[in-house]
Each structure stands twice: as C-alpha cells, then as structure tokens.
C-alpha cells in the first residue's frame, strides 16, 4: 500500500503546465507531498495511515483548485486586455485618428497613452460658461447651497432667540379672539348656495324655460352678489385679518368657478346648435362628452383643484392612501415653519421699522432688505404648501388626473413667463375666459394683456385691502406695475440673448423689493388705522 513513497503522481500534473504559475504550484505540491511521512512502517497503525491519506488528498485538491483559479484569472485578464484594446480602437476610430488595415485596433491601443498623443482634440466649453451651464448637472452645487443655507439660518435662529427670546405665544393656532370670526365662517359656508343658483339657471336654459339674455343677466347678478356678500360681512365685523383673507380667497375662487361654469355652458350650447362645429371640435380635442347640465358635474367641479369647467376630466385609477398621509405630514410641518418665521422674524422687523415712504430713506431700504429674506422664505413655503402639497392632496382624493398646477417658474427669464408658469389654474382661466375672448372680439393683444392684468389686480386688492380695511390700492398698483416690468424684461432678454439677465431681474424686482415693500406699507397703514380707532 505504498501510496506516497514517491511524488511521480504529482509530477504528471505539473508536466502539462506551460507557465510560471503552474510550475510554482507543482513545486508547492511536491514539498507538501515530501512532508507527508511514509505510511508502511511496521509500527504505524491503520488510523494514522488513513488520516495521512485524507490529508494528502486534501492537499492535492487544494493544489488543483489553486491552479484552476490561477488559470481562470490569467484567462480573464487576457480577455480584459483584448476587450480593452477593442474599445480603445473603436474610440480612436470614432475620432478619425486611425489608419485602415487589420492592425488598426492594436495601433490605437499602442499610441493612445503615449506622450506624443494629442490631449486636446475638440473645442469644449467650461461647465459653468453661459453656453454649457444648463447642459450640466448641478446636484452637488445644490447640496452645497442647502448646507450653506442650513448653517447660515441656524446661526440667525440662535441670534434671534438670544435677542428677542421665544415670541410665539400659546394662542398662536387658536385663541379666544377667534370666536368673534363666526360670521365669516357662516358666510363661507353659505357660498355654495350661489353655485346651486347657477345650476338652476343653466337647467332652465337647457329646458328652454328662459331665453339666453335672461340667463346671462341672472349669472351676472349671481356672481356679483357672491363677491360683494363677503366684502360686506368683513367690513361690518371686527374680525382678524387672517380670517378675512381666508374668506376672500375662498369667495374669489368660487367667483372664478361660477364664471367659468356659465361661460363654458354658453359656449357648449352654441356648439350644440351647429352639428358640424361640434363634430370638428370633438375630433380636434378628442372629446367624448356632450352638452349636459348635470349637478354631479357641477359638484365635482366646485371641489376639484381647477378653475376651468368641463363636463368631464382625466381621472386616475385609485387613491394612494400612504402617499396622502405623507403629504399631509409635510403640509403640517411646512405650515408650522411658515408660522414660526412670521411670528419670530417678520413681526419684530416690521414692528421695529418706520413707514417705508416716510422718514430716513437709507433706513427704509435697510428694513426692506432685512425683511426680504424671511419674506422670501414664507412665500416659498406658501407656494410649496398650497400649489404642491394641498392641490396634489385634493387631486389625489378626487382622482383628478391633470396635476400641472405650476411649471418651472423659478427659471422664468421675464416677468411675463413668470405669470404664465407660477399659477397654472389662474393662468388657464385668464387665457380661456379673458384673453382669448378679447382677441376673438377684435381687441388688440396689448389691450387684452392689460385687461387680464387689470382683473388680476382687482382681485389682489380685494384679497388684501378688504380684510385689512385699507383702500390705498397698494396691491392694485403692485400688480399693474408688472406691465412695464414685462416690457423691460422682454427687452433685456431680446437684447442680451441671455436667460440669466432676465431671470436675475425677475428675482430682484419681485422678491427683494416688491413683496417686502407691500408688507411694510400694509402693516404700517394697519397699525395707524387701529391706533386711530382707539
């Protein structure tokens, strides 16, 4: 039973190897074999012999495994070198730097990394140049801005707390003075009655009980009473400013919806009388609905996140409950952050400032600039809470499909682009019911734009001046001043052909000087009104 007396068995394996790695493996196996003692000694027992046999077999298996692994690694490395050469050859071919022939790939790999190889072969722009800045990803710079903002604002928060202390009172969300606003709440709950009245008018017109001109007169009466009723209630009640602003926003929303409901149904009746026009419009817009006065359609429209009426809307398949919960949590967080900034930062600044149009000019400019940063934060939080979170939550609960509530207004190059992108529900309403009807009736384009801005200015004035009970037309003037800014920013955009110039002009005029100035004007006028009332 002499099994390992001589290493010839292992030599047969090593004789077939033709590289240094295999030879090295053979030498190691020979040494391992010689280190095993002979198993035919007379004094050795069977257990020791069997153990030695098993050990020798394990050594031989390990050696074979190492040889296979080394061979596979060498083969894999050769394959990598070949594929690398092919890829480099292909790259050189694309750049047009190879010569024809079978050795093209080999030559490309050989000369690609030589010192004589050209390092500059194309005209290229720097990543931050004006021609290439929008073609690059700026995620790292965005993260840097977030880190800087967190660091700077953390210092400001600590400094503010050390200087003023904790200014948010226990009755921040609800106080005993809120109970006096119950007339505004009752007025808000009664506004759907006007929608029911508009539905009855449309039903009577469809059944030919009243003529068209009577329906128009009734709709004008209903919408006028609907917007004047909250104004009277707010002016007669000594209510909080925030409650009045909420009621006026709700009343203006209902007014816009009722106008769209009446105007759209009127146009549907006109199209229904002409079968050719109806079929042409249905084919063009791919519509599958007909003219019908349905209470269900009106009820859905009154709660849907849109201001433009149509009998049916694109719908989603289901409601994502988990997604709704996450958005509600975000809504609570950002609403609280907005209230914290108002109470802790904006209120002390406006209380310690003088009227911006009276007194020291440099001091007024300093106050406006100091107010611009927290005011911008509040405005961005308001936009995110309302246009992104709340409208998307409402759309999800109602399975409303079209959720383009805003576009990338932060990239607006002109003031005109901003007003077209930041509030899509109002923009679509303006285009559908103000701008296009003006053009269809022969009104020049610039006059139609002025009319659209005039309507917007009136509603901005109503939403601010009525709750504050101050009619100095600051909000109205601020919106109408957007018209010359539109002309200026359009001129700059055409002259410089650079999107950054118009975008920076928009941010400077709108967010740094515009809104903080309006806040200071209304605050001081409100304080003067309360002082005179006492």
Residues serving a catalytic function are 460
CA 518/CA 378 separation, integer angstroms: 14
CA 518/CA 69 separation, integer angstroms: 77
CA 459/CA 259 separation, integer angstroms: 14
Residue 1 DSSP one-character state: -
Residue 407 DSSP one-character state: -
CA 505/CA 511 separation, integer angstroms: 10
CA 192/CA 198 separation, integer angstroms: 10
* Phi and psi, residue 237, nearest 5°: -110, 140
The beta-carbon contacts of 465-468 under 8 Å, at least 24 apart in sequence, are 466/230, 466/231, 466/234, 466/235, 466/244, 466/248, 467/234, 467/239, 467/241, 467/242, 467/243, 467/244, 467/245, 467/247, 467/248, 468/241, 468/244, 468/522, 468/525, 468/526, 468/529
CA 387/CA 407 separation, integer angstroms: 11
Question: What residues contact residue 516 under an 8 Å CB cut-off, 6+ apart?
Answer: 368, 369, 371, 372, 375
CB atoms within 10 A of CB 145: 11
CB atoms within 10 A of CB 344: 18
CA 225/CA 190 separation, integer angstroms: 12
Farthest-apart Cα atoms in the chain, separation: 128
Q: Tell me if 217 sits within 8 A of 262, measured CB to CB.
A: no
3-state secondary structure of 14: helix
């Amino acid at each position: 039973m002499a099994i390992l007396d001589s290493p010839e068995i292992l030599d047969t394996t090593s004789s077939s190897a033709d590289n240094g790695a295999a030879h090295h493996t053979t030498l190691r196996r020979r040494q391992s074999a010689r280190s095993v003692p002979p198993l035919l000694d007379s004094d050795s027992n069977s257990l020791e012999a069997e153990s030695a046999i098993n050990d020798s077999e394990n050594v031989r298996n390990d050696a074979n495994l190492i040889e296979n692994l080394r061979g596979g690694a060498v083969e894999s490395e050769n394959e990598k070198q070949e594929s690398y050469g092919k890829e480099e050859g292909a790259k050189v071919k694309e750049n047009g730097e190879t010569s024809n022939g079978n050795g093209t790939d080999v030559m490309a790999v050989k000369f690609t990394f030589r010192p004589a190889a050209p390092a500059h072969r194309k005209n290229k722009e720097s990543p931050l140049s004006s021609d290439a800045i929008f073609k690059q990803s700026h995620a790292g710079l965005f993260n840097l801005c977030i880190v800087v903002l967190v660091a700077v604002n953390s210092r400001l928060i600590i400094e503010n707390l050390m200087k003023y202390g904790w200014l948010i009172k226990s009755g921040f969300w609800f106080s005993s003075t809120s109970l006096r606003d119950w007339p505004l709440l009752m007025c808000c709950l009664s506004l759907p009655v006007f929608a029911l009245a508009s539905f009855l008018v449309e039903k009577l017109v469809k059944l030919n009980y009243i003529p068209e001109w009577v329906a128009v007169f009734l709709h004008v009466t209903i919408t006028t009473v609907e917007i004047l009723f909250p104004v009277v209630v707010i002016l007669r009640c000594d209510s909080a400013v925030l409650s009045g602003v909420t009621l006026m926003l709700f009343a203006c929303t209902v007014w816009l919806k009722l106008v769209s409901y009446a105007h759209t149904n009127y146009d549907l009746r006109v199209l229904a009388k002409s079968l050719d026009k109806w079929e042409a419009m249905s084919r063009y817009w791919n519509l599958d609905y007909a003219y019908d006065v349905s209470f269900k359609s009106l009820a859905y429209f009154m709660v849907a996140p849109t201001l433009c009426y149509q009998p049916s809307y694109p719908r989603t398949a289901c409601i994502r409950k988990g997604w709704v919960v996450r958005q509600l949590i975000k809504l609570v967080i950002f609403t609280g952050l907005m209230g914290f900034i108002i109470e802790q930062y904006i209120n002390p600044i406006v209380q310690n400032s003088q009227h911006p149009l009276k007194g020291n000019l440099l001091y007024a400019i300093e106050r406006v600039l100091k107010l611009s940063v927290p005011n911008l934060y509040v405005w961005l939080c308001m936009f995110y809470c309302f246009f992104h979170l709340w409208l998307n939550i409402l759309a999800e609960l109602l399975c409303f499909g079209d959720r383009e509530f805003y576009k990338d207004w932060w990239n607006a190059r002109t003031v005109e682009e901003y007003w077209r992108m930041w509030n899509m529900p109002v923009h679509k309403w303006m285009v559908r019911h103000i701008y296009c009807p003006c053009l269809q009736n022969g009104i020049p384009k610039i006059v139609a734009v002025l009319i659209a801005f005039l309507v917007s200015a009136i509603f901005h004035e109503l939403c601010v001046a009525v709750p504050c009970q101050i009619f100095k037309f600051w909000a109205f003037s601020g919106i109408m001043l957007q018209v010359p800014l539109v002309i200026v920013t359009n001129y700059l955009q055409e002259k410089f052909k650079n999107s950054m110039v118009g975008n920076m002009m928009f941010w400077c005029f709108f967010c740094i000087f515009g809104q903080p100035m309006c806040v200071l004007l209304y605050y001081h006028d409100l304080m003067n009104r309360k002082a005179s009332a006492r």
